[in-house]
């Protein structure tokens, strides 16, 4: 089933963005856009939902210090661990940009959430952030006692972070690395191609074709990297060893069809997949959580992710 139009609440949010974004972001510059987003994040995060505790720390990463933020549930542990990778086209995003989402995930899932502040392109193109993401997973598995973890672990990310969750799951399987029990890919930026119907029909909604090309060029640099399975997991010959997955897409998202290609590949290779398309939603909807940008469907999607994780960690999936 496909929705005929974008959800009215989201339409209002997009109309508001169309009025202010040309003023706030007149140029497509990573440095300027990050600066503007820092101010917007400060406003967005003023009254965050409570969790048991948050701790900022740095670990030794492949390129130097790698910042993490740990979110602990209010209930007494131990708890499963959820390693989170933020979105932003591999160019934007930070611990602050997804603080609300991580808090809601912690509250809903009862997991310890480890958010990763990986290196960003174009200063650090592929594979820098993949290396950081994998290092964070290794750290989480080696520090279960510090995290008050049960030893169960899932990876999760939205957009570019969803791609990182997918490729680190593949890396762990191929390298006999950390045991990942589950992966949650939220409208992942995987295998996006201009000829796809979703790009042809929905480019211009949140992301236009110039945005997609800019993010691609900043991160990949060339199509040679795009064909690397650790950049684009649909290039892998065999994904049968990766963990079961929840994959979420949005009906009006230009990234939708690239994600569904990967869903089909996972299923064909025998991987259990729970696939949900939120047909009236747009790219980025799951971060629409507060104030003038609050959408009920975002909270519903988080609750459904939490249910999936509960099934997995209770051994019923």
Q: Which among 101, 79, 113 is positioned nearest to 314, based on CA atoms?
A: 79
What distance lies between CA 60 and its chain's CA centroid?
22
Active site residues: 159, 253, 283
Q: Are 248 and 159 in contact (CB under 8 A)?
A: no
SS3 readout for 27-77 = CCCHHHHHHHHHHHHHHHCCCCCCCCEEEEEEEEECCEEEEEEEEECCCCC
């Amino acid at each position: 089933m496909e929705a005929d139009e974008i959800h009215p609440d989201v339409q209002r949010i997009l109309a508001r963005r169309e009025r202010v974004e040309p003023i706030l972001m007149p140029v497509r510059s990573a440095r300027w856009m990050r600066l503007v987003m820092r101010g917007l994040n400060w406003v967005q995060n003023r009254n965050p939902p409570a969790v048991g505790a948050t701790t900022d720390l740095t670990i030794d990463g492949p390129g130097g210090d790698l910042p993490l933020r740990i979110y602990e549930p209010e209930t007494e542990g131990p708890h499963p661990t959820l390693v989170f990778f933020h979105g932003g086209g591999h160019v934007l995003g930070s611990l602050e940009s997804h603080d609300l989402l991580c808090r809601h995930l912690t509250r809903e899932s009862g997991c310890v959430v480890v958010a990763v502040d990986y290196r960003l392109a174009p200063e650090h193109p592929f594979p820098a952030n993949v290396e950081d993401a994998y290092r964070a997973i290794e750290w989480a598995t080696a520090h279960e006692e510090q995290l008050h973890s049960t030893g169960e672990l899932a990876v999760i990310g939205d957009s570019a972070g969803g791609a990182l969750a997918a490729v680190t799951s593949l890396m762990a399987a191929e390298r006999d690395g950390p045991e990942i029990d589950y992966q949650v890919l939220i409208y992942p930026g995987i295998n996006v191609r201009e000829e796809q119907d979703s790009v042809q029909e929905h480019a211009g909604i949140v992301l236009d074709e110039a945005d997609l090309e800019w993010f691609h060029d900043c991160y990949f640099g060339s199509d040679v990297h795009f064909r690397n399975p650790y950049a684009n997991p649909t290039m892998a010959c065999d994904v049968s060893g990766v963990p079961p997955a929840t994959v979420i897409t949005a009906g009006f998202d230009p990234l939708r069809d690239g994600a569904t290609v990967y869903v089909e590949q996972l299923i064909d290779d025998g991987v259990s997949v729970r696939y949900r398309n939120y047909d009236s939603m747009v790219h980025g909807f799951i971060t629409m959580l507060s104030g003038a940008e609050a959408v009920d469907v975002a909270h519903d999607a988080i609750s459904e992710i939490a249910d999936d994780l509960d099934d997995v960690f209770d051994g019923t999936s």
